[in-house]
Structure 1
C-alpha cells in the first residue's frame, strides 16, 4: 500500500476550516470534505477513505456521536477528533470505547496534524495487512480441512475392500495362513480405519452447524453400549439415567463425545480382569445434564492428566492401540456446545469422566 495516496474525509460545519484544511494538505493527500455528519455519510457511500477527521462541536450530531454511528458499518477507517473545547469526559469515553484513534485541539497545528495522519495511516495499513493475512490463513485452513476430509473418505473405500478380501480368504478352505498374517493385516487395517474415522469426526465437528433436538439418554446410552460391547464381551455395562425434565442438545456432538469416552473405557480395561465394568449415568436438570462415564480399568498416570486432551497425546503406561485424538475431539465438541469436562483417575484402579452440557430446552422456553 506504499504507493496509495492517503484518502481523508474532513467533517466540519465551518466552511473556512474546510478550505484551510484543503489548502494545507491537498498536495499530500486526497481530500474530501463535508459540512455535516449527514453529508459525510453520503460521501462515505461512494469513497473508501483511510482516515476520517471530524470536529466535535457540530450542530445536530457531534463528532463523537458520528464516530459511534459508523463504527460498526465502517470499522476500518482511522478516526481523529478535532476539538476546540475541553470536552474531557466525551473524549476519554470515545477513546476507551474505540470510537477514535486520537484527538487534536483546535486550532490545529499543521505539523502535528500531518504527523497524526501519517501515524494513523500506518495503523490502517498494518490492520489491513493483518486482516488480509487472516483471510488467507482461513482460506488455506479451510482448503486443508476439505482435502483431509475428502482424502479420508477416499481412503476408507480401499480399506473396506481389503477387509472384504480377508473375510473371503477365510471362507476359502484352500487358503491357509499358519503364521496368522491375515489377522495381522486385519488388525492394521482396522486400526487405520479407526484413525480415519476420527479425522472425519473432527472435520464434521468443526464444520457442521449446531442442531438442537430432544434427547433420551436411555436410548443414547443403549445405542453406545450396542456399538462397543462386542469389543469385550466380559465387560458389564451399567446404565443409570435420571431424566425428569426434557433435554435438548446437539445429538451428533453428544454422540461423538460419548462414543469416544466409552470406547476408551472399553479399550483400557486391565488385561485378564475378572469383573470389568463400565458405568454410565446421566442426571438431567432444567438447565443442564451431568454425565458420568466410570470404568475400573488401568487408569491414567497423574502426571498425564493435564495432557490427555491435547492432540496426538498418548499415555506411555499402556500398549493399547490408539490415535491420540479421541479426547481432543471430545474437548473440541464440548467447546462447540459450551460444555465442560473433568477427569479423576487412579492408576491401576480406574477413571471417571464427568461432563456437564447446557440444556437448550431451557433457552427455548
Structure 2
C-alpha cells in the first residue's frame, strides 16, 4: 500500500447486469472506496465521461455488450482508467487473450473473495496514481525546461542590451556635440536660418529619445541579474541537476560518476541561477558524450586564506572535445558547436552568472578525448578577492 494515499479519492465503477450483484458490491466496498454502479455499457460510458473514474470492474457475461468488449471501448476512449474483468472459469481463454491484447489489467474469478477483490482494487488505484504522478512529473520537467530556456533568453537579452547600450552611448556623445556646434557654424552662412533651427531641434529631440531608450535597455538588463544570495549546499543543487539529466544520459548508456566532497560548507549564492549554470553544462556534456561514455562530476572545498575560500565544481566528459579555435568563442553570444540545434546562449549566460558571483569558469578540452568545465565559486562573494585567486588543478579520476 502507498502511504497516505486517499483511496476514496479515486472512484471505482462496477458494471453488472444483475441488480442484486450491484447492491452487494456496493455494500461490500463502499466503506473503502467511492463506488459507482451501472447495469450495462450504455449506462457505464456516460459515467466515465462525467466522473473522474480511476478503475472500472465489469462482469464478462452481460447481454448486448460483453465485459471484454466494454473494456476494449474503455481502453480506446479512456486509456488511463484501469480495467478489471470478473469472469467464470469457463471464460479463461477469453480472459487470457484480453490480457495479452492489453485490454485488461487483471481478472477476478467468480465467485470472488471479498478480501482479494479489495486488495486488487487497492493495487489498481495505486497503479492509476503512479501513472498519473509520472505524467505530472514529466509535465513539470517539460515546463521547467521551458522556464529555463526562457530564463536563458531573457538573461541573454539583458546582457546584449547592456552591451548595445554602451555601444550606442559613445556615438551619441559625438552626435550631440556636433549638433550643438551646428547652429553656430551655419548661423551667419545660412540664408534659411529658420530651417536649420528647426532641423537642429528635431535632431536634438531624436538624440534625447535614443538616450531614453538606452536608459530603458540598461534598466532592463539589471532585472536579470542575481540578487537573492543565500547559503546553499553546492552538492545538493548539483545533485538535483544531475538527477534531472540522468534519464537522458541513460538513454545513451552514459554513466554519470559523482565525486562529491564530504562536509562542504554552504556557499553564498543565488540558488536558482546557479542551478541554471549546472544544468547548462551538464546538458552540454550529455549531448557531447557518445554512447557508453562517462561524465564525472566533482566538488571540493579550497582555502587559500581566511578571505579567499571557495567551492570548486568540475564537470568532465569523454565526448568529442572542442577545438582550440572554438574554445576561444565558447562564451560568445550565439556561438554554438551544434550543427542543427542550440542557440549559443546557454554557456554565455552561465559565464555571466558565474561572473555575477565573482567566480571563474574555465574550460579545458582535447579533440576526441573530452572536455572539462571547472567552476571556482567564492564561499562569500562579498569578501572574495578574485585578483589573488589561483586556478586549482582538478583532482578527479582519469576519464
TM-score bin, normalised by smaller chain:
0.3 to 0.5
TM-score w.r.t. the length of structure 1 is: 0.47
TM-score w.r.t. the length of structure 2 is: 0.43
Work out which of the two has the higher radius of gyration on C-alpha atoms and give 1 or 2. 2
